[in-house]
Amino acid sequence: MIELESKRYFEDMMWTEENQPELSETYPNMWIAVYQKKVVGVGKSISEAEAEAKKTTNTDIREIPVVFIEHGAHIYWNE
């Protein structure tokens, strides 16, 4: 069975997109976890942001979007 993300998950994702400029200034080039339209975890890796979010919220991490906040240009490649 395919599990769909909750309505809150999508609302948190939308909040992240809507607040991208402010988040980019506060959390440049960091991973953030967002729960109930608040940043609840921050880290240089996804696992760091997830771990902090788990401690902060006591919520299943699958219900918390984790997003990379880019600041400036980045080049990605696959070798």
- In tens digits, the chain (79 residues) has pLDDT values of 445 568 899 999 999 999 999 999 999 999 999 999 999 999 999 999 999 999 999 888 788 999 999 987 666 667 6
Spatial separation of the C-alpha atoms in residues 42 and 27, rounded to whole Å: 8
Predicted confidence at residue 75, as pLDDT, reads: 65
Residue 63 DSSP code: G
Predicted confidence at residue 12, as pLDDT, reads: 96
C-beta of residue 11 within 8 angstroms of C-beta of residue 37: yes
Question: How is the chain split into domains, by residue range?
Answer: 7-69
Spatial separation of the C-alpha atoms in residues 70 and 34, rounded to whole Å: 16
The candidate with the shortest Cα–Cα distance to 60, out of 2, 11, 9, is 9
